[in-house]
Amino acid sequence: MFPKWLLAQESRFPMLDNEKRTRILHAAQGLFIRYGVKRTSIDDVARAADIAKGTLYLYYESKEMLFAEVAKNICADILAEARRASAMPAPLAERLVGILDAEIGVLHRLVEQSPHVRELTETKEATASATFATLDRDIQELITTAISEENIALQGAAEMFIAAAVGTAQIGDSSATPYRSRLRAIVDVLLVGLKQTCETLK
């Protein structure tokens, strides 16, 4: 469902160009990652998107609205990748690694490339903050559904996998292959331990 403010804009300006909107979002995301949200102005985004500042305001009434839409795009891409990993015809541990890497690994690698990514993901701006919080819940639900295949139904189990993924990203090489290799080892251990715990509690 589109935000009410976006529907209102499109009703006022029915001929808005989706290709132009995409250019604006890509330009804004690139600038936010490279320079940070605070140091990026609407003028900067308009120049990078090669459109007039007035035209940009037809699509986004403020930098805050543009920032919120960029956050939605980032989270949508992450969630789509996590869902693809969840749906793979692969062993549970491999699917969990894919889900966790889609969020934790990817964001950690982005932060390493630019410290301003942390400004995006840890924002206190209400709309964007809610978007990232929703992503966290969606990832937890994917993990909870996946581990239920092994009859793991412990409260907080999904959070354990996420905490392990965060810790794994902070030690050693965080590029995809070595990170996923370390993560797979920890996921395997967690699965064994959680299954044993659930069997003991029966």
How high is the pLDDT of residue 162?
95
Residues 189, 101 share a domain: yes
More confident residue, 121 or 107: 107
Domain's final residue, options 17, 35, 61: 61
155 inside domain: yes
Residue 66 within a domain: no
Percent residues over pLDDT 70 in the chain: 87
Domain-embedded: residue 26: yes
Query: Which of the listed residues 61, 90, 105 is the one where a domain comes to its end?
Result: 61
Q: 15 and 103 share a domain?
A: no
Average pLDDT value for residue range 3-27: 63
| Cβ contact 43:53 at 8 Å | yes
- 129 and 176: one domain? yes
Residues 49 and 15 in one domain: yes
Same domain? For 51 and 78 the reply is no
Residues 24-39 have a mean pLDDT of: 89
pLDDT of the residue at 139: 96
- Whether 30 is in a domain gets the answer yes
Mean pLDDT of the chain: 85
Of the ranges 110-114, 121-125, 195-199, the best mean pLDDT one: 195-199
Give the residue from 41, 61, 81 where a domain finishes.
Answer: 61
Range of the domain at 166: 72-201
How far CA 193 is from CA of 71, 87, 121, 154, 157, in Å, comes to: 36, 24, 31, 11, 11
Predicted local distance difference test score (pLDDT) of residue 86: 96
Question: Is 88 in the same domain as 134?
Answer: yes
Q: Is pLDDT above 90 for 121? A: no
Q: Write the CB contacts of 139 (distance below 8 Å, at least 6 apart in sequence).
A: 79, 82, 99, 100, 102, 103, 158, 162
pLDDT tens per residue across span 44-74: 999 999 999 999 999 998 888 898 898 898 8
Residues 57 and 99 in one domain: no
Question: Is residue 124 predicted with pLDDT exceeding 70?
Answer: no
State how many domains the chain has: 2
Residue 164 is encoded by which pair of tokens?
């392990």
> Is 67 contained in some domain?
no
Q: Residue 44 is part of a domain; what is its CATH number?
A: 1.10.10.60
The CATH number of the domain holding residue 102 is 1.10.357.10
